[in-house]
Amino acid sequence: MDIFRFSATLLAIFFIHTSLASAEKIDVDVTSIPFIDNAPEQTKAGTLEYRGGLHLTSSNRRFGGFSGLGISNDGQRMVSVSDRGTSYSASLEYDAAGNLSGLKTHDLGTLADLDGTPVAGKRWSDAEAMSPGVEGEIIVAFERDHRLWRYDAGITTPRVLRPPAELSNMPPNDGIEALTLLNDGRLFAIAEGSPDEPVSVAWVSRRGGWDVLTYIAEDGFRPTGAATLLNGDVLVLERYYTPRAGVRIRIKRIDGSKILAGEEISGELVALMAPPMNIDNFEGIETRRDTKGRTFVYLISDDNFSDDQRTLLLMFELSSH
């Protein structure tokens, strides 16, 4: 099933702009950034090694707010969805050492509604997570009006995917923030929940529905993204923010064999990131493995369309130890 998951990911990336949106070419300014300003020699965060990062800006007012991320298994294409219902795709460029160095061929589209028209209004367009499905489709999780839509390859109009029943009673801003396809074909989803609570509701799909489990998120960190590794483990992206302390980012690794109905799960710390590291409001995470067996982790940030935040795309190599 591992190979199938990666094949599904590649198909989903390939079809993203024919199935989700009618895209337009846009101009994006791309600036390479070090992991730490004024200290380019510092490239470590836990078991992650920095492999390049980009600061993205555009004069297009619809550019930004990216909350979900997909990377093709060859590392050549990316796609992201935003909390204003847009989809952004681009081709990735690397330097001679294999570090992320640039982007080109930028496309920006709008996710389609059930009738094929563009989604409109914050309540209806707030896409917070995305995942490939086992048949090459893209599954998008929306909050405010909590739901899961399935965008099949080559088809513009989505289909409704039955969501977990508990979503209907959740506050508008506490829906699914993390969504990933497990190597056995199940979907794993985690709600953002409240920073005042040490746990978040999570679900794992089964034939005909969803089973509930509990994700332990302590110290004020909240889950914002998830990605599955080739061995079946899951990386969960977490964010901490207060006006005084600013933003902190944490990545944890969950044993994939423990993602079972009724379980309480927590992960081992992979990395903790804080200023002066070049970080922002990271909400999208994806992984891939290259032909040499190296695992790369990509992060994208949601700038909330604010002048005080940035859209960053970072790449790391995950240590095998």
Choice between 236 and 137, residue whose per-residue pLDDT is larger: 236
Residue written as tokens 């710390």? 269
Contact of 62 with 86, CB cutoff 8 Å: yes
Per the structure block, which two tokens stand in for 248? 């902190």
pTM score, whole prediction: 0.94
Return the percentage of the chain with pLDDT > 70, whole number.
93
pLDDT at position 196, please?
Answer: 78
Read off the pLDDT of each residue in 5-20 and give the average, rounded to a whole number. Answer: 46
Q: What pLDDT shows up at residue 10? A: 45
CA distance 301 to 299: 7
Query: To the nearest 10°, the Cα dihedral for 210, 212, 214, 215?
Result: 10
CA 52 from chain centre, in angstroms, equals 18
pLDDT on residue 281: 96
| Residue 172: pLDDT over 90 | no
Residue in 134, 165, 135 with CA at minimum distance from that of residue 147: 165
Task: Please answer whether residues 152 and 167 qualify as being in contact, where contact means their C-beta atoms are separated by less than 8 angstroms.
Answer: no
DSSP string, 66-78: EEEEEE-TTSSEE
The ranges assigned to domains in the chain are 2-318
Give the pLDDT band of residue 267 (cuts 50, 70, 90).
very high
The answer on pLDDT for 219 being more than 60 is: yes
The closest alpha carbon to 179, from 209, 208, 147, belongs to: 147
Which among 84, 80, 85, 96 has a CA at the least distance from the CA of 28? Answer: 80
Higher pLDDT, 65 or 8: 65
The whole-angstrom separation of Cα 226 and Cα 233 is: 10
Stretch 60-77: mean pLDDT: 95
- The arithmetic mean of pLDDT across residues 59-86, rounded, is 94
Q: Could you tell me the CA-to-CA distances from 295 to 36, 45, 242 in Å, in that order?
A: 22, 15, 32
- Buried residues in 169-198 as b, exposed as e (16+ CB within 10 A): ebeeebbbbbbbbbbeebbbbbbbbeeeee
Q: For residue 11, what pLDDT is reported?
A: 42
| 3-class state of residue 11 by DSSP | helix
- Per-residue pLDDT, 7: 43
Assigned CATH class of 2-318:
mainly beta
**What pLDDT, in 10s, does the model give residues 290-317?**
999 999 999 999 999 999 999 999 999 9
